[in-house]
A and B are shown apart, each in its own frame.
Chain A
């Protein structure tokens, strides 16, 4: 496989995952705006949404104020925002077109149809009533693409690089959501524990589609350290850091077996995976949740660069 192909496949998966995560974040943000709130609370919500997606600076360079219409447009349709859903789908489709020979026909047609349909949408025609439907559709298309990939692709390097893209993006995304809201998860906030906090905790879980499963796992009301534990350390939760890293390490091991060699990225991934399997949530809180997440995001970036080096993504 060409190094350029591996690079395109990896980023193709990252962008599809990013589009789906963006849809989820928008859904949560929009839900909050709809609720009766005091003061300017929803501005704060959009601010954290923008921060979680890493788009805050770009947004404020373009708009003076935060208002719902602008934020939604910016995150959904803005071609100047490289992380908007439009940009994610366009980049993913561009990569897919460049690597058509590596994708199955089903995968390509799924992605190409999504892109064609999305481009046919006129942003000004999307009313607030239609927004939830559109976000659902984006999640469905992403799920369809993942499903098609899992059902049709050969289990070789094509698959492994796709898996790496999906789960590195997912780990990074979950970590960012937690980091932006880490202060509502600190033990002290439980004492505060009012309706607002409960609401904040709920929306963190929602933004990774985990509000229902949390109840199944913990059978109790939202507790901030439980939420942190769930999204960081639970190996069963498919959007947790621990789960994402099991998938990353597995894909790297499989790749190492296929190619018959191992690189620095294997060691990095193994270390992070082990850390997530052995560390307790108390010790994470003791040394600082924010510091832990920052360190995690940094290590994940390093891993991404190491993978790119090891497999000649740039030739």
Chain B
């Protein structure tokens, strides 16, 4: 059995300072009472409707993402370091996207192979030369961070397309405050509730220039059967923005409008929660029923801002990921504050050879995969699974990257038998507009199965409230 760093007990078994109060409190609680509180929390989530639809089980199936009542806690100094690293990262990522869709200096400098960009499915040639307001492409980014030791934080993934989960960060906090008010009175937990207003400010700051009125902002959702629909409605509601579907929008005379009770009304900023390929059937997928015909032209002409910009996937592509340290140095002139996980690009023959030899130790991911699908977790896989994966890998090496299996930190989590360590990660949500805005916190995802390292909700992961303590 490997030794994992535990967020509450560290490596040695002593309670770490940020957890001292919570550990003491947990020690006084009876298991039955904690379980009761857990059930109460889930009932609250169900009543509030914080559910996601499960496609395979028919349209009426609504599930909860399991919630764990033991918070995940970060100290103020840990957070300072994380937030400095995150800010550096998102500035570099946006500078990279601007460069890639303009002069491509980084390619000319030979820091990234040209074919890795131009042959990349995530590269959107239609975006070349487009000038988004303030030069920003990814306004909302979710950075997945894992921890392996006291000072060991790694960025696992940058989600620059349409990251989701922020509503859980907010609702988890609401639920915890509702159920355990005394815990909050005894700990100085930094509030996260300013996220929606920060999001609104960010969206306003990238509205088309020269508007003579307050910008009209809409959240574009694929609709109520989408797994993140609750979040779309939640954010629109919290911002006082209109929640629209593609069918509510129409392009007329070169401008984007929504169909209101009083006729058409122009929309200035679209916070879209549908993927690039469904955005505009005239430019991307022709069979898309979710998008708006002509919206891309309106965007290109600068009359409506699309957030995040199309083509942002080039920055969170898993094949690009291993170049992020270079990217940060290239655009900021400084070394990265947050480390990357060492990554093998299977498109490189020497990397592929290494990966094929060490499959049972590595995590192998599809370059364009997400949600924990299509990946191999070597140490947890059977021989048979490894051999099957080997075939897939050899057939299309450039479709895969591989990373060492990280010793993800654990945190005590309530399970049937009591409190037990479970592996987790952290996704802070950072906003990039006229300034970088980052609320202290994020979404902590926890693998509920004993020993599992896969935290994705689609793979049975749960969530925890994430506390950042104030000094």
B223-238 interface with A by 8 A CB criterion: 223-224, 229, 233-234, 236-237
9-residue interface stretch from B42-50, B155-163, B321-329:
B42-50
Query: Given the complex of chains A and B, what is the CA–CA distance between A116 and B45 in angstroms?
Result: 12
**Are A157 and B261 touching (Cβ within 8 A)?**
yes
**Are A101 and B261 touching (Cβ within 8 A)?**
no
* B234 neighbours in A (Cβ, 8 Å): 100
- Which of A101, A109, A259, A312 interacts with B233 by CB under 8 Å? A101
A225-277 interface with B by 8 A CB criterion: 259, 261
Tell me if B248 counts as interface (CB < 8 A to partner A): yes
**Are A311 and B261 touching (Cβ within 8 A)?**
yes
Total number of residue pairs linking A and B with CB closer than 8 Å: 62
* B102 neighbours in A (Cβ, 8 Å): none
- Which of A101, A109, A259, A261 interacts with B236 by CB under 8 Å? A101
Query: Given the complex of chains A and B, what is the CA–CA distance between A6 and B244 in angstroms?
Result: 13
Query: Given the complex of chains A and B, what is the CA–CA distance between A94 and B224 in angstroms?
Result: 9
**Are A4 and B259 touching (Cβ within 8 A)?**
yes
**Are B237 and A100 touching (Cβ within 8 A)?**
yes
Tell me if B247 counts as interface (CB < 8 A to partner A): yes
**Are A98 and B224 touching (Cβ within 8 A)?**
yes
Which A residue sits closest to B258, measured CB to CB?
A: A2
CB distance from B293 to the nearest CB of A (A): 14
Query: Given the complex of chains A and B, what is the CA–CA distance between A1 and B260 in angstroms?
Result: 5
Tell me if B242 counts as interface (CB < 8 A to partner A): yes
Centre residue among B47, B49, B223, B236 by max chain A CB count within 10 A: B49
**Are A2 and B224 touching (Cβ within 8 A)?**
no
> What is the size, in residues, of chain B's interface with A at 8 Å between Cβ atoms?
23
**Are B47 and A112 touching (Cβ within 8 A)?**
yes
CB distance from B247 to the nearest CB of A (A): 7
- Which of B47, B49, B236, B259 interacts with A315 by CB under 8 Å? B259
Centre residue among B48, B247, B260 by max chain A CB count within 10 A: B260
**Are B261 and A315 touching (Cβ within 8 A)?**
no
Query: Given the complex of chains A and B, what is the CA–CA distance between A102 and B232 in angstroms?
Result: 13
**Are B47 and A2 touching (Cβ within 8 A)?**
no
Tell me if B243 counts as interface (CB < 8 A to partner A): yes
CB distance from B199 to the nearest CB of A (A): 14
Given contacts A97-B224, A98-B224, contact A312 B237 (CB under 8 A): no
**Are B49 and A100 touching (Cβ within 8 A)?**
yes
**Are B47 and A6 touching (Cβ within 8 A)?**
no
Query: Given the complex of chains A and B, what is the CA–CA distance between A105 and B47 in angstroms?
Result: 10
Tell me if A113 counts as interface (CB < 8 A to partner B): yes
CB distance from A234 to the nearest CB of B (A): 33
* B262 neighbours in A (Cβ, 8 Å): 259, 261, 311-312
* B223 neighbours in A (Cβ, 8 Å): 98
- Which of A4, A100, A112, A259 interacts with B248 by CB under 8 Å? A4
* A74 neighbours in B (Cβ, 8 Å): none
Tell me if B210 counts as interface (CB < 8 A to partner A): no
A87-124 interface with B by 8 A CB criterion: 94, 97-98, 100-101, 105, 108-109, 112-113, 116
Query: Given the complex of chains A and B, what is the CA–CA distance between A138 and B466 in angstroms?
Result: 40
Tell me if B263 counts as interface (CB < 8 A to partner A): yes
Which B residue sits closest to A111, measured CB to CB?
A: B49
**Are B259 and A116 touching (Cβ within 8 A)?**
no
Which A residue sits closest to B60, measured CB to CB?
A: A90
**Are A116 and B46 touching (Cβ within 8 A)?**
yes
Which A residue sits closest to B235, measured CB to CB?
A: A101
Query: Given the complex of chains A and B, what is the CA–CA distance between A245 and B35 in angstroms?
Result: 53
Given contacts A97-B224, A101-B236, contact A113 B258 (CB under 8 A): no
Tell me if A3 counts as interface (CB < 8 A to partner B): yes
* B46 neighbours in A (Cβ, 8 Å): 116
Which A residue sits closest to B223, measured CB to CB?
A: A98
B33-54 interface with A by 8 A CB criterion: 46-49
Binary interface profile of A, 144-178, with partner B (CB < 8 Å = 1, else 0)? 00000000000001000000000000000000000
- Which of A94, A98, A113, A259 interacts with B261 by CB under 8 Å? A259
* A315 neighbours in B (Cβ, 8 Å): 247-248, 259
**Are A6 and B261 touching (Cβ within 8 A)?**
yes
Given contacts A100-B233, A101-B237, A315-B248, contact A3 B259 (CB under 8 A): yes
Query: Given the complex of chains A and B, what is the CA–CA distance between A101 and B238 in angstroms?
Result: 8
* A312 neighbours in B (Cβ, 8 Å): 259-263
Interface residues of A (CB under 8 A from B): 1-6, 94, 97-98, 100-101, 105, 108-109, 112-113, 116, 157, 259, 261, 311-312, 315
Told that A2-B260, A109-B47 touch, could you supply 8 new A-B pairs with CB distance under 8 A? A3-B248, A5-B261, A97-B224, A101-B242, A108-B49, A116-B47, A259-B261, A261-B262
CB pairs A–B below 8 angstroms (6 shown) = A2-B258, A2-B260, A97-B49, A100-B49, A112-B48, A112-B49
